[in-house]
Amino acid sequence: MLKCTNIELTVKRNKKQEGNKRMKGNVIVGQSGGPTAAINASLAGVYRTAKDRGADKVYGMLHGIQGLLKEKYIDLSDHIKTELDAELLKRTPAAFLGSCRYKLPEIHENREVYDKIFEILDKLDIEVFIYIGGNDSMDTIKKLSDYAIIFGHAIRFIGCPKTIDNDLALTDHTPGYGSAAKYIGTSMKEIIRDSFCLEYEKGVVSIVEIMGRNAGWLTAASALSRVNGGEGPNLIYLCEPAFDTEQFLKDVQEKLEQKDSVLVAISEGIHDSEGRYVSEQVQSDAQDQFGHSYIAGSAKVLEELVRDRIGCKVRFIELNLMQRCAAHLASATDLEESRMLGMKACQCALEKQGGQMASIRRISADPYRVEYTSVPVSEVANKEKKVPLPWITEDGHDVTEEMMAYLRPLILGEPAMQYENGIPVHIELY
C-alpha cells in the first residue's frame, strides 16, 4: 500500500480547522468532460465528507449540468450504501454519474437557462454545488457563481479539478493525469519490447500518437518508460514547440543509422510554425460545441511521410481512449489525491468560499509532499497550462530532467483492486 503521511496529516489538520462547521442544506455534485481513472475518487471524497459534515442529501447530477437541466439526478445514498461501495467507487474508472460537454451561454445571452438551473437547485434545497471537471467545467462554475452573486443567491459553487491533459492553471497537477501518465509510460515500455522482436532490412519506425491538443503533458509522460533504466522513446515531440516535418525526417533518419528500431512519441496536436495541425491533412474542419477542432490523425500523416521519404517499415499507433480510463494501471497517488481534492471542495464550502477551485500545491518533489488549497475559479476558467519550454530539450525532441522530477512522484503506488473471475470489479449505476 502507498504511504501517504502528508495526506494523513492534511486530513487531521482540516478536521481541526473545520471545528463544528456543519452543512445546513443539501449538496449536489456532477461530473463533466472526458472521463478518467480517478474522477470517481473525487466523487467518493465529496460524498463522504458532505455526509460527515451534516448534509442530509447528497445528490448526483446524471450527465452533469446537461442532465440537471432535464432534472435528472439521484440520491447518492441509494447507491453508496457501504464502505465497500465507497472503496469500489474510488477504483472504478470513468464518470460514475455520467458526463457531458455542455457549454453554458453567457448570462446576458440567455438568462432563462440560469433561472431554470437555480429553480431546480432551490427545489432541492441545495447549499453547495460541486462540479468535477476540467477547463470547460471551471467555466461552468465561474458562470454559475457569477450569477449567484449578481442575483443574490446563497448557493456556493465549487470546482474540483479533473483532466488527464494536466492543463488546468493554478494547480501543480490534476487528478487523472498521474494514472494516464502511468499507463502511457508502461505502454511505451511494452511497445519497445515488441519493436525489438523482428528485424527489417531498413529498420522499423513506430510512431505513437498521444492525446494533447495544445499541452504536451501526456506525451512527456512517455519518457517514464525510462525510470528503471529502460531506453524509452528515441524521439519525443510535444505540441508546445513548432513541428518541422523536414527536421522530423532528418531526426528519424539519424536514429535509424544508429539502431534498427526507432520509437517516436508525438502529441496529437503537433503543428507547424503557422499553427496548422499536422493532422489537418487527414481531418475535416469540423469542430465540437466548444469550438475545438478534431485533431486525431497526426501519427497516420507521419507514417505515410516516413514510408514515402525513408522507405523503411513504419507503423502508427494511437493510444486513443485507452489512456483515459486504464484503472488497472492507476496510480495510487493519483487516486488518493483525487479523493482529497473532493474533500477539499467540501471544506471550501464549509468555509463559505464560493467561486473557488480545490487545488494542489507541491511542497517538495523528493520527498514528495503536497498540500491542498483553493484558488479563485475565475483565475482558472478558460486558461491553459502548457509544458514550460525549459522542460523541453533544445533540439525539440525530448524532455529534460526537470520534467522527469515533476513526473516521477505522480505515478507511485498501485491501488488494491478487487477481482472476480479474473476481471476487476467496478461499481455500476445501472
Q: Which of 88, 109, 40 is nearest to 424 (CA)?
A: 88
3-state secondary structure of 314: strand
Q: Sheet holding 26-31: strands in order across?
A: 73-75, 58-61, 26-31, 126-133, 156-161, 356-365, 368-376
Q: Residue 123 — φ and ψ, nearest 5°?
A: -60, -35
Determine how β-strand 235-237 pairs with β-strand 126-133: unpaired
Element (H, E) at 254: helix 245-256
Q: What CA–CA distance (Å, rounded) separates 167 from 171? A: 9
Q: Which of 136, 139, 165, 334 is the catalytic position?
A: 165
Q: DSSP letter at 240? A: S
Q: What CA–CA distance (Å, rounded) separates 186 from 224? A: 8
Q: From residue 14, how far is each of 128, 215, 287, 397 by CA, in Å?
A: 18, 33, 43, 43
Q: DSSP string covering 263-326, please?
A: EEEEETT-B-TTS-BGGGGT--S-B-TTSPBP---HHHHHHHHHHHHT-SEEEEEE-GGGGT--
Give me 91's grid cell. 477504483
Establish whether 398 is a catalytic residue. Answer: no
Length of the chain: 430
Phi-psi region of 315 (alpha: psi -120 to 50; beta: other; left: phi over 0): beta
How big is the chain by its Cα radius of gyration, in Å?
22
Which residues are catalytically annotated? 165
